């Protein structure tokens, strides 16, 4: 009985030692693992801090990029509005240019017509000037002819007066020597010649 009790005690002691050894081994193992985990945790915490710092940096850059993007978006909107305005102004300018081109073509046609009409008037004016020159020349010639005719007429009238004076002197010279019958016969003979002479003077005049 004492032997069994002794064996039981030994078994219990051995069991306790095994359990204690197991616990000690487990404690050492878990301590080593805990140290490793602690190191890993520290590394993870350090990495987390770095990641957090990088994240903050990336967030700052992202916010900056977002602000830049918003500013760029606003600039794009302004440029779109400016493009729309410039497009409208360009279309208006093109319409104005087209209208101006049409007006210029119409004005060109009008100017060509006016130039043609001006040339016609100029040609008519030159023709009229030439006609006036010809008329002036004819007027000068006619004036000279008129002066010549007036001179001839004056000469003829002087000749007529001289002839009449001669006739009167001739008649006066023979008036005393001739009888009345002889005067009548002489005047009857002279009348046709005197009439012809007067007709000749009328033709000359």
- Asked if the structure places residue 109 within a domain, the reply is no
pLDDT in tens, 114-155: 888 888 888 888 888 888 888 888 888 888 888 887 887 777
This prediction's pTM: 0.33
Question: Is the per-residue pLDDT at 113 higher than 70?
Answer: yes
Question: Is the per-residue pLDDT at 172 higher than 60?
Answer: yes
Sign of the Cα torsion 113, 117, 122, 124 reads positive
State phi, psi for 47 to the nearest 5 degrees.
-65, -35
pLDDT in tens, 74-95: 888 888 888 888 888 899 889 8
- Asked if the structure places residue 184 within a domain, the reply is yes
104 vs 123: CA distance, rounded Å = 28
CA angle 66, 72, 74 (to 5 degrees): 105
pLDDT value, residue 204:
43
- Asked if the structure places residue 129 within a domain, the reply is yes
Name the DSSP letter for residue 176. Answer: T
- Distances, alpha carbon 19 to alpha carbons 25, 29, 134, 143, 202, in Å: 10, 15, 159, 171, 189
Tokens of 82: 């400016």
CB atoms within 10 A of CB 201: 15
- How many structural domains are present in the chain? 1
Tokens of 59: 């967030």
- Asked if the structure places residue 36 within a domain, the reply is yes
23 vs 25: CA distance, rounded Å = 5
Label residue 173 by pLDDT band (50, 70, 90). Answer: low
Higher pLDDT pick, 130 / 171: 130
Neighbouring C-alpha atoms within 13 Å toward the C-beta of 204: 19
- Asked if the structure places residue 64 within a domain, the reply is yes
Which residue range forms the structural domain that includes residue 148?
Answer: 2-80+82-88+98-104+115-120+122-204
- Asked if the structure places residue 93 within a domain, the reply is no
**Residues composing the chain:** 205
- Distances, alpha carbon 79 to alpha carbons 40, 56, 71, 74, 89, in Å: 55, 33, 12, 8, 15
pLDDT in tens, 7-65: 666 777 788 888 878 887 777 887 777 778 888 888 888 888 888 888 888 889 888 88
Helix H or strand E segment including 90: helix 2-175
Question: Is the per-residue pLDDT at 205 higher than 50?
Answer: no
168 vs 170: CA distance, rounded Å = 5
- Asked if the structure places residue 16 within a domain, the reply is yes
pLDDT value, residue 4:
55
- Asked if the structure places residue 6 within a domain, the reply is yes
């Amino acid at each position: 009985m004492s032997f069994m009790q002794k064996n039981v005690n030994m078994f219990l002691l051995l069991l306790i030692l095994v359990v204690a050894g197991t616990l000690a081994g487990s404690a050492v193992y878990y301590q080593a693992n805990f140290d490793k985990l602690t190191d890993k945790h520290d590394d993870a915490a350090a990495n987390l801090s770095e990641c957090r710092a990088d994240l903050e940096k990336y967030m700052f850059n992202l916010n900056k990029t977002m602000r830049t993007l918003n500013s760029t978006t606003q600039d794009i909107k302004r440029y779109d509005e400016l493009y729309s305005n410039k497009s409208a102004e360009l279309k208006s300018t093109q319409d104005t240019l087209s209208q101006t081109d049409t007006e210029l073509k119409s004005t060109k046609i009008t100017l060509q017509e006016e130039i043609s009409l001006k040339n016609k008037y100029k040609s008519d004016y030159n023709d009229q000037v030439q006609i006036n020159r010809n008329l002036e020349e004819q007027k000068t010639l006619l004036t000279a002819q008129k002066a010549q005719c007036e001179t001839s007429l004056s000469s003829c009238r002087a000749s007529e007066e001289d002839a009449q004076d001669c006739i009167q002197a001739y008649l006066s010279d023979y008036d005393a020597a001739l009888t009345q019958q002889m005067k009548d016969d002489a005047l009857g003979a002279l009348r046709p010649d005197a009439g012809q002479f007067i007709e000749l003077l009328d033709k000359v005049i």
